[in-house]
Amino acid sequence: MTKTPAICVFCGASFGDKPIFSTAAVAMGAGIAGLGAKFIFGGGGPGLMGEAARGARDAGGTVEGILPGFLRDMEPPLDTGEDTEIVPDLFVRKREMIARSDAFVTLPGGLGTYDEFFEVLTAAQLGVHAKPIIVVNVDSYFDALDAMIRGTIARGFARDTVLEMYQMATGVDDALARLKAALRL
Ligand code: AMP
């Protein structure tokens, strides 16, 4: 890959119930910077989003946030000089995230994180893109998600080719190795 790759991270605006989630978010951000990739995220400072972005920034990475204007109060951006672009709504945010990124990483999060993960997975399912999607299964958080998708396939509501469209990483190191391989970094 000749141009600087961009990796989009989806994760919670909360911290979850264990410090391991924050540790993983910081390490993921730092690891993406270490790969020489741009770190793209939703632009908000709260929760794991802020941790991951700070991790990338503190490791010397380029951080780009895409924040819907109406979330500026609810999810204020980090006040640390990141490039934050204000977009009209959640839909433009997702469209921009998909267009600008070469790969997607899902760290533990809540319903917004699931929404973003399924947005990119269903777009892959429809052939809109073929970019790598990595799920970082910190503390086995995403076992249930993986089981749900496998159950959906078993019950005939999705094709088993979907399993080739996302990768379950056991942790941050595994996710970084998968990104490196997929993006040929
Ligand atoms: P959560 O995982 O619920 O903590 O949310 C993580 C991020 O997802 C936050 O920045 C939310 O603004 C964002 N988010 C929540 N709902 C949506 C949605 N429908 N589309 C796009 N992003 C969303």
Write out pLDDT tens, residues 23-66.
999 999 999 999 999 999 999 999 999 999 999 999 999 999 99
Q: What is the second-level CATH architecture of the domain 6-183? A: 3-Layer(aba) Sandwich (3.40)
CB 97 within 8 A of CB 117: no
Q: How far is the CA of 108 from the centre of ligand 1 (A)?
A: 12
Find residue 157's DSSP bridge partners: none
List, for residues 88-116, the tens digit of each pLDDT value. Answer: 999 999 999 999 999 999 999 999 999 99
Query: Would you state the structure tokens that stand for residue 50, as one six-digit string?
Result: 């802020």
Opening angle at CA 171, ends 168 and 174, nearest 5: 75
List the residue whose alpha carbon is closest to atom 7 of ligand 1: 112
Pocket test for ligand 1, best of 49, 85, 105, 115 (most atoms within 8 A of CB): 115
